[in-house]
Structure 1
């Protein structure tokens, strides 16, 4: 198996740090992993290695202004918002499609990585999305333990910290991670709106989500400390024209004490959750079939 690190040019002057994982022989599909807010692509490396060993070509990346895509540059004053991050995502999708144009291309979106595909300019390139531990992010749909403190975070911590530092110093505060000011303030607007990104950004955002026709399968963890089932269902409702389904996963299903918001990608699940994902890629194909008879939204 090979891992290639490369630089991808976006928007003329922006450079993304990208990794491509591929096994020997021709891959049967491409996978682009869209990371969660503040999570570096290195977090997904063991999972990406495993997928490549199953005959898939896997791509990971850091959004502009984060991780290896920021490098040694100062984050203070760095200009980026979530629409920029959606363009970063699409640039990696373009590269993955160009590398294997005849094979299907799937997205694995962790949290934010399942929200941003609603802003793709060319959603027709994508054959399906598996959403992992993702939802709308609206604060009233946060998990109870998060909801108790989140308004203090949004109304005091975020405005004060971004004003003082010129970016969001998440590492210092031990919350989320370091983020460009524009990303954090836009995310704040989304999370305070009952319709999240669609409500905060208006009709153009709603139309953008409605252009998505590829199937979406959402995996919702029963012990997710950040995201509730209600939030997951809200996110799927934005993809109004896409066939979709929700599968609930409990720790007891895989003889574990905990999965949570981040656990799916940990190596402890390489013999349980990860192999099951291959079957879920096949399920995306079956979801596509329902488009002939209308959009389906189901929960398992």
Structure 2
């Protein structure tokens, strides 16, 4: 009887997700690698003349399903088309030659943004952590296709800009001490298999991220020179949300990253008291802030929120 009650409780929710979304594959740029994605297609009211598609790019090691509550909210309550996707190599648990810059940025993220820019007149990008960092790395032609950018907890990840706490010690241990022994033992970076969080990652992805964490400029080429083409090509409005209680980064880390979009028509930061690094995407904690951020996604309005305490 208990199992029947559980089925009756969750079946409507499962049906709702399937009804409002579909699993699709999107060809990456350059090699057309099939990117796994979930697409929430909106039913547009007659008052909407210019449909908006929101692309959500996730943090390192996060599954696209983590972003589905936010995606469903945008889709069902505000009539956005929304897509979430997984970078290549996640979940595969095998050795690959894929690197963050060459494959996740220039092919996967670029391919998704390009695909929907060809389908809809406005594409708005929501980048969480690494997903927001993508704009420092993307080809200029892709950055120029985006109408607005919402950054969530995206920072310069140089280790000295981290908060010096237990999370910092864990990051140093995982990135710098255990990385190579784990890669040797598993053939991939076992974020899920060993650390029991997120998803497993390709080996060269984590190697490049570790190398960047040791550079003050963070996003550098093989010669240690800052890659500026991505920053310089962002000309649309940018709204950056970050939080005082972020587990990993200081306000300095967020501000240094955001200020590099110096050619944007408008850059605004909401530095808010509560939200951590991941909690923005949890509906029961951030619904009020979701309502505030929709103004920017629709029109580019960056007026600071008036949230109840």
Aligned to 2:125, the other structure's residue is in SS state: strand
Which of the residues 178, 198, 203 maps onto 2:200?
178
Contact 2:188 2:202 (C-alpha < 8 Å) held by counterparts: yes
* Pairing partner for 2:127 from 82, 85, 109: 109
CA offset at residue 204 of structure 1? 6.8
- Aligned residue in 2 for 1:52: 75
Deviations 1:96-140 (A, max 9, x none): 11221x2x2111110000001222222110012111011011111
Aligned with residue 152 of structure 1, among 159, 167, 173: 173
**Structure with max Cα Rg:** 2
Distance 1:56 1:260 in 2: 26
Q: What's 1:129 paired with?
A: 149
The correspondence for 1:16, drawn from 15, 31, 35, is: 35
Residue number in structure 1 paired with 2:112: 92
Q: Deviations over 1:180-228 (max 9, x none)?
A: 0010000001111111113766447223322222222110111110122
Normalized per residue, the structure richer in strand is 1
Question: Which of the residues 281, 284, 287 maps onto 1:271?
Answer: 287
Q: State the Cα RMSD in Å.
A: 2.4
Corresponding residue number in structure 2 for 1:256: none
Give the Cα–Cα distance (whole angstroms) in 1 for the partners of residues 302 and 286 of structure 2.
25
> Mapping of 1:236-275 within 5 angstroms?
236-242=258-264, 243-251=266-274, 259-269=275-285, 271-275=287-291
- 2:226 matches 1:207: no
Per-residue deviation, 1:280: 3.0
Is contact 1:134-1:227 (8 Å) kept? no
Over 3 Å counting, the alpha-carbon distance change for 1:233 and 1:204 in structure 2 is closer
TM-superposed deviation, 1:2: 2.8
Distance 1:226 1:270, change over 3 A: closer
- Please report how far the alpha carbon of residue 49 of structure 1 lies from its aligned counterpart in structure 2 after TM superposition: 0.7
1:165 and 2:186 are equivalent in the alignment: yes
How many aligned residue pairs are there?
A: 274
Provide the rounded CA distance (Å) in 1 between the counterparts of 2:147 and 2:128: 17
Kindly state the Cα deviation for residue 286 of structure 1 after the two structures are TM-superposed: 6.5
Provide the rounded CA distance (Å) in 2 between the counterparts of 1:24 and 1:201. 49
- The answer to whether structure 1 residue 198 and structure 2 residue 217 are counterparts is no
